[in-house]
Amino acid sequence: MMRRMLALWATAVLAAALQWALVPPGPEVPWWHAVPGAQAVIGVAGCTAIVLVAKGLGRLGLARRDPDGPAAAPDGVSRW
Amino acid sequence: MSSVHPGFVYLVGAALVAVSPAWARRPLLLIVPVLALGAAVTVPEGVGGALSLAGYELHLLRVDVWSRLFGLVFAVIGLLGTVYGLHARARGPHVAAFAYAGCALGAVFSGDLLSLFVWWELMAVASFFLIVGRRTEAALAAGYRYLLVHAFGGALLLAGIIAHVLAGGELGFGALSASAGALLILAGFAVNAAVPPLHAWLPDAYPEAPVTGAVFLSALTTKTAVYALARGFAGDELLVWAGAIMALYGVVFAMLQNDIRRLLSYHIVSQVGYMVCGIGIGTPLALSGAAAHAVCHILYKGLLFMGTGAVVQMTGRSRLTDLGGLARRMPWTLAFYAVGAFSISGVPLFNGFVSKSLVVAAAEREHLAIVEWLLSIAAIGTFLSVGLKLPWFTFLGEGRGAPAAEPPGNMRVAMAAAAGLCILLGVAPGLLYGLLPHPVDYAPYTWGHVLTSVQVLAGTAIGFFWLLDKLRADRTVTIDTDWVYRRGGTLLMASCRAGGTAAAAAAAVVARAGASLFERALGEEPPTALVGRTGPWVAVSLLLLTALVVLLA
């Protein structure tokens, strides 16, 4: 797992470094495209936010125990 | 025009497959989609297939750049889906799939709203038979719910067409101006496009279909609606926000799913959101982006359903909690699935990278920063669940003893062809651009765009491995907006049992009202047979709508 994480960090850092070296920031480019590494941070933050929101919705009651497979009605109400 | 309608090729093929002896079926299954593809390629531009009905001119075949594009990609996925299902011995799903493909082609080649409506409804009926193809109790229940929702959507569409014509609008299918009729038509299209909160039929029904039928389902209904929205409502600002919300809604709900095909179904909602958003933006780049994304989505989503279908077929399991460690026994399936996953995730050199970039760039050029952010976060969620979570817990995680082997050769051939097309359109976007409705002045392969995309993908993967324990699927099912009509349906049935006579009387009154409206719209000599067929549908749908309104109130 550690090696996999290191490889991913290295990829992100390399891409950010290449962006810094090869891509001059244009006048109309928003900061999230212009700052090298910002997109990697957005990736981590976006991923975390989606997982937390989904888990939160599940805990709020949108996810129910699967009684006998995913085909069953979520609330066990009906099968009509 | 003297050319053959591609939809009729499929419909004739469906009839032939229905009556053919077993020895002739496999050749027929190959010949029909090839002929339909040939017809879609060669049918000349223009308007044809004219019919006259109650003084109105109907056109069954209108070929232009939009209908050609959708017709072409429908015919391609029809061929791939048929090859994928070639091993299946049951006759019914093949007939339903051909009829469904024929009706979808009929809808996109329709030149007027009434023809569109007729194909629209026939498509719903044909796809119902595809959904219930496994004949399980769950599939039947999901199929009936699907049919009711689509009857409701069809009723909205028909009511909208009637109101539109009564207000002096043209029956020809083009851009629709703001009016009550247009709003109802938009709502009818939104049902088929699975725009929340009208989307729950999709993740409810598609996972219950046979694995071969799901390939057709993933491609046709929602994309027919995308085509119709592009035709009628390009530039409608409401669609910008509806699409952006769809994109995010789908990925959040996909994260909660345990069933692999239900997870992918929620990603249809999300990906169609990109298309709806592009249509709403309405600039030439956005419309071409929406069309390009529809083409690419049909290919990669078909491939993803083929890959997961192979897993379901070979293991008999569909839940992430029951799967794992299949990579060693299904390496080709994993490889093909990975191509589809990279495509939907927008990895450079795969087709989704090109088409998704067009829509996001169109939002950026129109200074729609919030929309751009929503679409970008949805892209992160797509890679997270389709590109990382699903393959990790199905193919790469710890094994759970599921029996597995590579699927039959025809399934692998279809997956290989779909994967090849995903890569081809990814490395040579010019091929895709040449088919689009507007010239494209956007280059996806710039250093800046590729490097920022790689950073987002790497960041998402870092987040995935960091949160791996939290991402393990739970043995749960999700409550979505279908709860309203599941609960409402139960109450409605109970009330019908209690006061069956009253309900029947109300249905008759509503049916008569619907028929009367239809007659007024079409003139003094109405086609009563048509009214007779549509009236009960209108009645059932309106009753359902009334019940929902009462329940919500």
HEC profile for chain A?
CHHHHHHHHHHHHHHHHHHHHHCCCCCCCCHHHHCCCHHHHHHHHHHHHHHHHHHHHHHHHHEEECCCCCCCCCCCCCCC
Question: What's the mean per-residue pLDDT of chain B?
Answer: 89
Whether the predicted pLDDT of B315 surpasses 60: yes
pLDDT at A67: 67
- Chain B CB contacts of A76 under 8 Å are none
Torsion of CA A64, A69, A74, A77, to 10 degrees: -120
Shortest distance between the Cα of B345 and any Cα of chain A, in A, equals 12
Interface contact A39-B462, CB threshold 8 A: no
B17-33 core/surface letters (b: 16 or more CB in 10 A; e: else): beebeeeebeebbeebb
Yes or no, beta carbons of A74 and B478 under 8 Å apart? yes
Burial class (CB in 10 A: 0-12, 13-18, 19+), B253: buried
**Rounded Cα–Cα distance for residues B464 and B458 (Å):** 10
Chain A residues within 8 A of B369 when measuring between CB atoms = 30
pLDDT for res B507: 66
The shortest C-alpha distance from B273 to chain A (Å) reads 17
Better-predicted residue by pLDDT, A69 or B124:
B124
Amino acid at residue number B1: M
Give the confidence band of B500 by pLDDT, cuts at 50, 70, 90: low
Q: Which residue is closest to B253 within chain A, CA to CA? A: A54
Provide the total of helices (H) and of strands (E) in chain B, helices listed first: 23, 3
Give the residue with greater pLDDT, A69 vs B420.
Answer: B420
Q: How confident is the model at residue A1 (pLDDT cuts 50, 70, 90)?
A: confident
Q: Cβ of A23 and B447 within 8 Å?
A: yes
Alpha helices in B437-499 (DSSP H): 447-466, 468-471, 482-498
Which of B138, B478, B472, B477 is closest to B321 using CA atoms? B472
Nearest to B456 among A43, A69, A70 (CB): A43
This complex has an ipTM of 0.85
Euclidean distance between CA atoms B513 and B350, whole angstroms: 52
A25 touches chain B (CB under 8 A): no
Q: A9 touching B, CB under 8 A?
A: yes
Which range among B26-40, B70-84, B489-503 shows the weakest confidence by mean pLDDT? Answer: B489-503
Which amino acid would we find at residue B294? A
Cβ–Cβ below 8 Å for B452 and A57: no
- Could you tell me if B474 and B467 are in contact, meaning their C-beta atoms sit under 8 angstroms apart? no
The pTM of this model reads 0.88
Shortest CB distance from B493 goes to which of A30, A61, A80? A80
Query: pLDDT tens across B433-442, in order?
Result: 999 999 999 9
Q: Which residues of A touch B256 (CB under 8 A)?
A: 54, 57-58, 62-63
The least confident of B32-46, B147-161, B462-476 is B462-476
Residues in A 35-74 with any Cβ partner in B closer than 8 A = 37-51, 53-55, 57-58, 61-66, 69-74
Percent of chain B exceeding pLDDT 90 equals 75
> CB of B543 within 8 A of CB of B513?
no
pLDDT in tens, A10-24: 999 999 999 999 988
Binary contact (A40, B456; C-beta < 8 A): yes
| Inter-CA distances, B464 with A8, A13, B318, B379, B549, Å | 11, 17, 22, 14, 42
Looking at residues B86-113, what average pLDDT do you find? 94
Tell me the chain B residues in contact with residue A53 when contact means C-beta distances shorter than 8 Å: 252
A66 and B457 in contact by Cβ < 8 A? no
Per-residue pLDDT reduced to its tens digit, B226-253: 999 999 999 999 999 999 999 999 999 9
Q: Say if residue A72's pLDDT is above 60.
A: no
**Token pair in block for residue B183:** 């709003």
> pLDDT class for B502, splitting at 50, 70, 90?
low
Enumerate the residues of chain A whose CB falls inside 8 A of the CB of residue B475.
65-66
**Distance, CA of B193 to CA of B180 (rounded, Å):** 20
SS3 readout for B338-405: HHHHHHHHCCCCCHHHHHHHHHHHHHHHCCCHHHHHHHHHHHHHHHHHHHHHHHHHHHHCCCCCCCCC
With a cut of 60, say whether residue B523 has pLDDT above it.
no
Establish, for the pair of chains A and B, how many residue pairs have beta carbons separated by less than 8 Å.
194
A80·B489 Cβ contact <8 A: yes
Res. A27: pLDDT tops 80:
no
> At CA B43, angle to CA B40 and CA B45, rounded to 5?
120
Question: Residues B201, B150: contact at Cβ < 8 Å?
Answer: yes
Cβ within 8 Å, pair A74-B483: yes
Helical pair B482-498 and B528-552, crossing angle rounded to 10 deg: 100
> Residues of B with CB below 8 A from A19's CB?
447-448, 451-452, 455
pLDDT band, residue B264 (cuts 50/70/90): very high
